[in-house]
Structure 1
């Protein structure tokens, strides 16, 4: 016999009743063709491993294969039946123990016909059990048995997947004849059998079929262990699934959906150098916007997660950017759906005041630029009325205002449009636009000082109008320094939002009609002195993304794009880190 693959141990006794139990089991299981035997095999795998480990100890302590076969006459039949049971061999631990037992029975120098016949059989079975991923097995077989590497395959696994796929693919058989046994009962057993297979690429189509199988009756259920294993393997990038299979996984498993959303939030909060373009690409690759467009229930869950995060970090620009980018991608996916597959917008946004829903979800590119002013004035007055009504009724907990603000955050394209109009607005026109911008940054007066913010925003707007009326140097030093102080974060007034002023500054620089040199110099001076170079690049990037969606008149588009490119180059030369 070959040298044992484990260290010799004190030989424990093999219980006769235990031996008879397992012999009866392997005979009853056969190749696990029925749902009952599939489920029973999976349920007994843990105990079977323990028995195989005990059996391996006995084999290792035998003097020869002949002795082992004499003392344990059931051994060949027992191991052989297990080797042809795909539910046993698909389990990595059981397969390893079977391999070690067979290798322990292989005779390097066979002394008789029994051992030669055993060697021939063992060679064939070991080729079956070997996998491309098991380097130790491959090396042993190539070195000691002369089996070419190309003969190693995954036939057992593929056979098991083929059998299960055939069963899973059948429809609900109880619909035509209620007295007939429903084929959906095999789904639970099939999903349980797939738990040890989730990291095998060969099993991915079967897993996708299980996830997408229509749940036509109460018996069509998937194992929780299966869903947890698939979710873990997919999130760890150990399993590749098609788009619709991923969406089906989220429909079946709430923890899996939550994990996907939190992963995106973690990327937005921790990854340095993530641009808005890369965030949009990551969202598209995640399939999350498409899943939410197809399934309203998924969107509501994702929205609840964003709502909860926003309450904890309402001033975090990375979180705001992720929510806005997600909503924009979601609305695009929703527009691509066929009308018969769509549900009402109210179903997606049940908590939002109905008068605000369509006006906010409408894109600026969907109406003429000339209509923006009236649209924004109406939005501003409607939101202002809501806040005044709710602040008078403190017992309501400000739910209506929060939901209105949350939708404004999701549809920040109108805030960006308001800031663009402020570049050319006059003193009589700026009030509603400035209020909307201030509300976006500070939705309540409680702890936010929105009234003070409105005064500061008006002051910043006045300074910017004065500065950008200058057509040639020198720049007004007093106004420039006041602007730097407004945009610089203040420890004395921590509630103030420098990004409010910075958003105004960037839009003035992009959309003013002056020649490029003076606006560029203003932006460079302010962001350099305030240390907000990276933040300015983020705001500039969001302006560019919105304009790419068509929110600019054709006559100005070329001039604006050239100016944005020049400003991006300038900020890049200042060694900024992109948002």
Structure 2
């Protein structure tokens, strides 16, 4: 509740500024009668000029958050005063404490009169007190010099005649704020912080404040409307105040104008779910971190994270991005929530998955802040290590990276961060070649580019195998190879191009392209089976090539059965990934020079027998998406689109007529 502390500090005395059209029913009762001689307003026994009266709320809010810029300008004068005047002593403090005790809450006419008579001297004393506090190196030193200080300030806070005076009120709260330690170093300072927060919290939330109740009664305003008006005004003024530029003082023991950022964020903790506080919360989150003192409270960030993740808080886009930037747990929740959402709601439909990822703020946030991308990438890296063969996870990572790179391209004229900063662990020789999209280079060089990528990755695997005898070298080799594969997963558009070239290019390119495809699906050389898996991949390609060359019907049963067998994992054998063969099959059906009816028959027969109809439909959807993005090699895009749609219709019909089975966890690139 400390965040409402500004509210009742002024609740009882600023209502007229918020409700200018409302008037007291009884001027005499409300003590609002005008003093014609000096054109002032008599407010609880204090004459206040109208122009100042209308600015009272601004005064209390701006001074409450510690206007250090003004203090900075007054510093030379303060230092001169310090040299000319002796420091405050305990006897002087005792005198004013006795006066504050005698005044109490100014309930009687005598105490009211005495308070008003002493206001001018009290202002002078508070100014000296503020100078004294500001010239102390710490709250601990201040409390040692003036042990009665806390009791004195606390009593003044509850005296409405003191707090109704604009200058006295400003000085009073500057004194309180001067005692607040941003980084408390001992029990005294921690206790002082707790006390200050408690006092301000009570002032902000006291329901039975007699002055406020009397004012609301005279103005005929419901308490809820009254407090909401004050809250909105408070938020507006605090928002302006925190936007002031940092003006640090030369002395590190003196206050910086950024100190109010931490305090204001602490004050907002109870208000995080209030719509009225959203502008202030957004301003705090987006405050430039130009000063080490402009830190936000961890309690504030944790409260925001909890409220936002539970959908109890609505923030603007940039405020959400700033929340992720400031709070790691909030970012982690957002990433895991997105993963859960796309895996459970979008299923294995590539278009929907891409739309879901693109509409989330995470790709944009990653493009704006390198640190956010590094955290998100670490989460993806950890998940991929645990789910190496899960095609859904791989496709999410690829699609997210694609969305991220698109956002980076939009910001290329606004940021100087290089791609190397985003991918510090990736092999630098592979970084630009893989991150370059196929649409960004001529199609004629795609084959050469992929051959180079395949050769570079093969050399990394050889280095890993050569270092298996040495423990440290082996660890480095495994890490380097994993990072290369992780980057390949993120840039899997090149894998799709390789599959298409395996269908349309000559036999001289088959070796490097098949190796790249096999490495993508089998990055680790478990059991030293990489060579055997490559043999199986070549065998699958030969079967497919032979099958799609057949023009006569019926189709050769032996070829069909051999393909189905290859796509069915054999227990206790190093079998090839069925999805690798399925992608080859779908690409042959789309790009090979076979009639549409022939390709449809082959595709439908094989996927129905192997039980991969849904997976084949997903591969077709991914192909269509890649074609739209310029990642498919085709001289006749319209023809390819028509073939994809016809094959999709066939598989959709097959799905509608086959018995229901649980959705697969596979999604394809």
Q: Give TM-score scaled by structure 2 length.
A: 0.66
Tell me: CA distance 1:37–1:508, structure 2 relative to 1, closer, same or farther (3 Å).
farther
Q: Residue 457 of structure 2 aligns with which residue?
A: 383
Change (3 A) 1:448 1:314: farther
Superposed displacement of residue 179, structure 1: 9.1
Q: Report matched runs for 1:14-163 at 5 Å.
A: 26-27=158-159, 34=173, 43=194, 87-88=204-205, 98=207, 121=216, 127-129=222-224, 154-163=228-237
Question: CA–CA distance in 2 between the matches of 1:544 and 1:221?
Answer: 48
From 405, 428, 445, the equivalent of 2:508 is 428
Q: Secondary structure at the match of 2:506?
A: coil
Of the three residues 353, 358, 362, the one matched with 1:288 is 362
User: Superposed, which structure 2 residues align to 1:466-481 within 5 Å?
Assistant: 466-481=546-561
Q: Distance in 1 between matches of 2:415 and 2:426?
A: 22
Q: Does 1:203 align with 2:298?
A: no
Partners of 1:26 and 1:82 within 8 A in 2: no
What does 1:446-485 correspond to in 2, within 5 Å?
Answer: 446-447=526-527, 449-485=529-565
Secondary structure of 2:256's counterpart equals coil
Q: Distance in 2 between matches of 1:278 and 1:36?
A: 58
Are 2:321 and 1:243 aligned? no
Q: Does 1:499 align with 2:594?
A: no
Find the residue that maps to 1:393 and give its secondary structure: helix
Aligned partner of residue 215 in structure 1, secondary structure: coil
Structure label with greater radius of gyration = 2
Change over 3 Å in CA distance of 1:121–1:336 after alignment to 2: closer
**Are residues 1:525 and 2:605 paired?**
yes
Q: CA offsets, 1:372-425, max 9 Å, x none? A: 111111111111111011111022321111111111111101111000001123
Indicate how the Cα distance of structure 1 residues 45 and 452 shifts in structure 2: closer, same or farther if over 3 A, else same: farther
Alpha-carbon contact 1:198-1:239 (below 8 Å) kept:
yes
Say which of 168, 182, 187 aligns to 2:256.
182
Q: Partner of 1:336 in structure 2?
A: 410
Structure 2 distance, partners of 1:362, 1:35, is 57
Distance between the aligned counterparts of 1:453 and 1:321, measured in 2? 22
Match of 2:298 in 1: 224
1:46 CA displacement: 9.7
**Distance apart, 1:204 and its partner CA:** 1.5
Residue 570 in structure 1 maps to residue 665 in structure 2: no
Moved more, 305-314 or 489-498: 489-498
Post-superposition shift, 1:519?
1.0
Alignment partner of 1:353 is 2:427: yes
Q: 1:44 to 1:238 in 2, by over 3 A?
A: farther
Aligned partner (choices 378, 390, 404) of residue 316 of structure 1: 390
Which residues in structure 2 correspond to 1:508-547 (within 5 Å)?
508-547=588-627
TM-align CA RMSD: 3.3
| Residues 1:195 and 1:125: Cα distance change in structure 2 (over 3 Å) | farther
Distance 1:287 1:120 in 2: 47
Tell me if structure 1 keeps the 8 A contact 2:500–2:591. yes
What residue is the counterpart of 2:307 in the other structure? 233
Q: Conserved in 1, the CA contact under 8 Å of 2:249 and 2:255?
A: no
Does residue 257 (structure 1) correspond to residue 331 (structure 2)? The answer is: yes
* Rounded Cα–Cα distance in structure 1 between residues aligned with 2:504 and 2:197: 74
Counterpart secondary structure, 2:455: helix
* Match for residue 247 of structure 2 among 151, 156, 173: 173
Q: Please tell me whether the aligned partners of residues 42 and 193 of structure 1 are also in contact (alpha carbons under 8 angstroms).
A: no
Superposition TM-score, scaled by structure 1 size: 0.76
Q: Is the 8 A contact 1:380 1:435 kept in 2?
A: yes
Q: Secondary structure at the match of 1:205?
A: helix
1:139-190 superposed Cα distances (whole Å, 9 cap, x missing partner): xxxxxxxxxxxxx883132122123212212111326998974221111111
* Aligned with residue 405 of structure 1, among 460, 477, 485: 485
Change in CA separation of 1:344 and 1:35 when aligned onto 2, cut-off 3 Å:
farther
Report the Cα offset of residue 278 of structure 1.
2.2
Contact 2:485 2:523 in 1 (8 A): yes
2:520 corresponds to 1:440: yes
Q: Is the 8 A contact 1:487 1:501 kept in 2?
A: yes
**CA distance 1:176–1:24, shift in 2 (3 Å):** closer
Counterpart of 1:174 in 2: which secondary structure?
Answer: coil
SS state at 1:463 partner:
helix
Length, aligned pairs only: 484
Distance 1:169-1:291 versus aligned 2 partners, 3 A rule: same
Stretches of structure 1 lacking an aligned partner (at least 5 in a row): 1-15, 49-80, 89-93, 106-116, 131-151
